[in-house]
Structure 1
């Protein structure tokens, strides 16, 4: 009889996990199902079943849950718009100096200035976009 109660509890906890998606209730469901199996095979008293449930659930929460959370975590957000341009290569169209310059970046012409304002980049130089400051690409020729 105790095995059936543990089985029902395990199924209920697994169903409740569908509402949360945090993998915590699923680990408790695993503990309840393991306890149902042990209880069906053995004739342990209820307090021993509770200890089995606690130990199996603890092992699942501390051992399996972190792995599942890493595996099913949402992917990192993709950079979009101007943030996606950082790190891209650009070609200097007009001399880039502290207060002037244009680069071709991703098929578009952008106003540009050097990262180090003492540097000047000649047309045709390939540079890397370090950041986007408003509508200006801050570029660097690199080492």
Structure 2
């Protein structure tokens, strides 16, 4: 399996971010794993230049649905608007603690959403997500 340059984890649970990051580091699936606590911080991270002329370039984003400040759907709305500014949108796998069919159907309205996973992440789910975006 190809190693990704960066994976972004967006989840308000600090513990979940720590566990997911540790699992991905053990699996050695990315050179960099960035964790962010909400959609607002993630949007700021992804849409602001961090070096003189470059935006962050993750190859995969895992996005929790239910978060304070800016939830997953609010993030998707704002992030999809960035397509107008020449910032390439990155593939997203939605994460949820429930398997609500409404959430699944709603997430399919966004072209950058490539999949939907229930929490917690496992090695198998991470591999499946990476394989999905590499197709």
TM over 0.5: no
Higher helix share: 1
Larger RCO of the pair (alpha carbons < 8 Å, separation 6+): 2
Q: TM-score, normalised by structure 1?
A: 0.22
Q: TM-score, normalised by structure 2?
A: 0.23
Q: Which has more radius of gyration?
A: 1
